[in-house]
Amino acid sequence: SYKAYPAKLASLDLDSAIAPLENNPFNACKSNLRLLEYGACGYPVIASDVKPYQGGLPVTLVKNRLKDWVDAIRAHTRDLDAAAAAGDRLKAQVEREWMLEGAHVQHWLDAWMPS
């Protein structure tokens, strides 16, 4: 169930996560939620170099070509310590800039519940 999803994702203990996304108008309107979910778990991410994922999070962005994906996945698996450090950087940025707490909560309340 969707309620079990966060705990299940966190329990996977992934060395790397991938976030492929086809470059098309529909996907251009999506968010970076997948990167935030992986980042909250501390997973290093390889993602398609498409608009929703180009927001400055420390992930490996690749063109949607087989060679680029294979090269990026091999690089992550060749140096698991570097991949883990990338996951730690992503987690720190997600916690610092994307969690709904403190001032971030008020920004959301102001946006969704204007007075």
pLDDT in tens, 23-37: 999 999 999 999 999
Nearest one of 80, 8, 86, 100 to 45, comparing CA atoms = 86
The Cα 43–Cα 1 span in angstroms is: 22
| pLDDT exceeds 90 at position 9 | yes
The Cα 27–Cα 50 span in angstroms is: 8
CB atoms closer than 10 angstroms to residue 42: 19
Joined together, the tokens standing for residue 10 give: 């966190």
Joined together, the tokens standing for residue 33 give: 């939620």
pLDDT average, residue stretch 48-60: 97
Tell me what the pLDDT averaged over the chain comes to.
Answer: 94
The predicted pLDDT at position 32 comes to 97
pLDDT band at 85 (very low <50, low <70, confident <90, very high): very high
Q: Find the range with the poorest average confidence among 42-51, 66-75, 101-110.
A: 101-110
The Cα 14–Cα 84 span in angstroms is: 10
